[in-house]
Structure 1
């Protein structure tokens, strides 16, 4: 497990003044990693750390000798912690590195970003129990939660090639759909396009094929996390998902945020993993003292929407929902790593796990329009009078997340956004 140290101290301030602003996503206590270059340039993407409204070019600052994020992610936790301390010390107010490091700063508004790392494999889990229950009620009113859910982390292997960086437009997918009263399916664009509010967990060090990762060692193999929107075509999925699960309804695009907030940065925001009374306890390979004590991560999650009509009128995005990851997730990130590898599956640096839709118990904390509109039966009314059962062309969805707790400095995950195109 990762521990609180001097890099988390609330009194630590940066010579990058924007990092000291109350409520800033990227104070010196955060230091998330991403890959950037100057907007409009043909430069190679470089590894940077977000600080305030700037990006620190780590190679230009003399901190690393590579532009390969996966190489950095494969480092041991001890080496990663050493790098975090070096970055934090150099960015601290009064640091002798300030003069030289100023030259390695690039304003974020002048940057463009790519995927924060090379993702070889992507697995989407289904850890949001309230989402699973609500969606189950829509399709199986008498048996909403299948019996395996409380025993095994449910997941499927997704398509890494269609992962896109925040800001990339999402084209409405085509595919087969079948109305309940129709004899044959039809082909055309999805009419029930939806978003899914998720977290993406990134693997650091991998494991050898045939060598499972124990629950007690699992967090050492996690590099960090970011915001994740696993867009979903609900009508395509309803027709195709039996018996093997999602296919074309999911692989047309999934949006990730530019920044990976490291496990080290998240140390002050951990909470116990506790199963509700009466639920089965995890099997031994999914149960460990460290996971019980602080396996969950307290993250506030938010979804905003800006329709084409709102944009034309100069109106800012409005909130669709807000909730907490620790209340939504039935399984912890460490349990996902332990389960994924218990059969000997080998993970590699940069592999991505989707958490699954993280919904609370109320419509105001739902992580998808499918839930908010109860399968389209109860359209959501926006402040400007527009309604939404599912996404329309021109809609921009913005996912945000942050951690805050008394005695710690608030840190943000940035955002994952995308606009639907017809």
Structure 2
């Protein structure tokens, strides 16, 4: 995902939409969703200068609740109003941490996603059903022990990570925004909610750096402390609205949902052949380099203690993120890189490297070092120290 930066207008909208649609789909279909009604009108907006207070506390509580969830079932309705993309899609999602998921497209007016598209993973196998082509793409999940998706115990995944699903984007906003309470009593589709205005944290706020500029409202159910609606105006991109008519945290989910039987009359093809599939399989560095169309940083071959195990491409062809999987002795780590990762929000300790600024953070024994360089975002992740991650970053060429 992403040939320029978040500020490149048309393609950035396309990329964001793909990120939010939860499945990589093809073809077209029809359908419409009404946006959630909001009453009453919120009072005049205060200037969000502090990162404490009831609005911030509400966001932090939300983030913690999602991160601590083991299962989730929700319905997400995305509406985009921009010159490049104007339409909507409704997706139903089931997730069981850390790696089981099922998403079904219920309605779509976007040509990139077909109504009836299904994506299922049982943690070992992936199925992606394209009803327009009557093809099921399937393949094994590539397990890399220290990737964020495998290690994260939260249901949403780490914000701004490799798996850029709708829930990841929402979680990233919760984790990396300044929240200001506009009203503690706003009715949204029958829910009594709090309206929290959000903007990105600046470089000086808790070590967060972001060029992903947005402003908007998060409507949070006062009883469940879960989101009901996310309404954002993203700089140079347009308006994105996500209404969430159903969101259950920690429900009982039948494991049978994480299997898939191809419908009669469909063909089964290898996952690598899927147009727009989320994991295009393992590649050699040379293959990935040719596919990317720009230089991929890697550890030079003369650094013999490091062994490249393989490269995986994630995302729509032409717009991928590439993950280089390395071993050093018994220690595994990954280097994720790509234009989709450029300038995404990140919270942690600021550090200087490679002529720019990066962010280092640790969670559950995993260290992540992230930075943007020449329009490409990079993330080094593994059971390593921050100093080791910096040393690895210095080796890249």
Asked if Structure 1 and Structure 2 have the same fold, meaning a TM-score greater than 0.5 normalized by the shorter chain, the answer is no
Larger RCO, structure (CA 8 Å, separation 6 or more):
1
In the superposition, the TM-score normalised over structure 2's length comes to: 0.24
Higher strand share: 2
Higher helix share: 1
In the superposition, the TM-score normalised over structure 1's length comes to: 0.23
